[in-house]
């Protein structure tokens, strides 16, 4: 969509070369991104299901969830957003320590909740390009409740394709964590080092 002129130029070239290639080349390039965003979510869902079905102990499962989070989520971006404007004032080493503590905290928090998904399944629906990233919609089927929507936002802004936000029936994970981290900081009178230490010991 950014380089419409590129498409036109290619179309012109393709006309000379003849055949259907004209419409296929640019579309293919576009579709591959949507497809790969969808594929990423497919893999996340498959990995989560595998952990849930593994029957491991809770501690082992939480460690597995943390690995999934690191593999598929843009942890640095999520952590920085959760910290909000405070991230600007933080030193690089503080930011690094916060990101590590946040990673543990969030995967434990959500990992504990994923047990509610036992026996359920998540279906990946469709993906569309939004701004600089992709929105992938999924439908979660849990036992005893009507199917509900879970949306992932996937970007390659970090250099790798990773998800950076999730909406569970409209609940924005980034916003919820930003509210929570903000409240934690307030409680500690804005002391980031104390927050990092507490996040490490929690969970």
Partner 1 sequence: MFRKYRSQNPPIVLSNVGVRVSRLALVGLVTLVSACSSPQGLEDITDPYESSNRKVHELNKSLDRAVLRPVARVYTDIVPKPVLIGISNFSNFLDMPGNVVNDLLQLNLGNALKNSGRFVINGTVGILGLYDAAAEVGLYADDSDFGETLHVWGIGEGAYLELPVMGGSTTRDTTGIVVDALFNPMTAFLSDYWKLSGTGIKTLDMLGERGRFGSTVDSVLYDSADSYSQSRLFYLQSRRHELGLEQAEEDYFDPYEDLYGE
Residues that bind partner 1 (CB under 8 A): 77-78, 80-81, 84-85, 87-88, 109, 112-113, 116, 130-133, 135, 144, 146-147, 149, 151, 153, 155, 157, 164-165, 167, 169-172, 174-176, 178-180, 183-184, 186-187
Closest distance to partner 1 from the beta carbon of 32 (Å): 20
* For partner 1, the closer CB: 10 or 80: 80
Closest distance to partner 1 from the beta carbon of 11 (Å): 26
- Pick from 151, 61, 171: nearest CA to 113: 61
- Do residues 21 and 31 touch, judged by C-beta distance below 8 A? no
* For partner 1, the closer CB: 19 or 88: 88
- The Cα 59–Cα 203 span in angstroms is 11
* For partner 1, the closer CB: 50 or 183: 183
* For partner 1, the closer CB: 15 or 129: 129
Closest distance to partner 1 from the beta carbon of 55 (Å): 20
- The Cα 161–Cα 73 span in angstroms is 9
Closest distance to partner 1 from the beta carbon of 158 (Å): 8
173 C-beta neighbours (distance < 10 Å), count: 20
Both tokens of 162, joined, read 């990773």
- Do residues 50 and 122 touch, judged by C-beta distance below 8 A? no
DSSP state of 20: T
What does each C-alpha distance from 122 to 60, 61, 140, 150 come to in angstroms?
22, 19, 4, 9
* For partner 1, the closer CB: 110 or 124: 110
Closest distance to partner 1 from the beta carbon of 141 (Å): 11
């Amino acid at each position: 969509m950014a380089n419409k002129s590129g498409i036109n130029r290619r179309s012109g070239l393709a006309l000379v070369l003849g055949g259907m290639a004209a419409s296929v080349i640019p579309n293919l390039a576009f579709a591959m991104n949507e497809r790969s965003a969808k594929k990423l979510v497919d893999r996340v869902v498959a990995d989560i299901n595998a952990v849930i079905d593994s029957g491991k102990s809770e501690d082992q499962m939480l460690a597995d969830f943390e690995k999934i989070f690191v593999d598929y989520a843009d942890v640095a971006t999520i952590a920085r957003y959760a910290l909000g404007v405070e991230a600007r004032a933080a030193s690089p080493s503080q930011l690094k320590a916060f990101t590590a503590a946040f990673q543990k905290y969030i995967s434990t928090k959500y990992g504990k909740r994923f047990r509610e998904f036992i026996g359920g399944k998540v279906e990946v629906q469709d993906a569309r390009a939004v701004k600089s990233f992709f929105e992938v919609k999924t439908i979660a089927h849990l036992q005893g409740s009507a199917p509900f929507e879970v949306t992932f936002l996937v970007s390659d802004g970090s250099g790798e394709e990773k998800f950076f936000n999730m909406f569970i029936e409209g609940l924005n994970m980034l916003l919820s964590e930003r509210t929570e981290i903000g409240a934690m900081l307030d409680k500690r009178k804005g002391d980031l080092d104390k927050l990092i230490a507490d996040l490490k010991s929690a969970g």
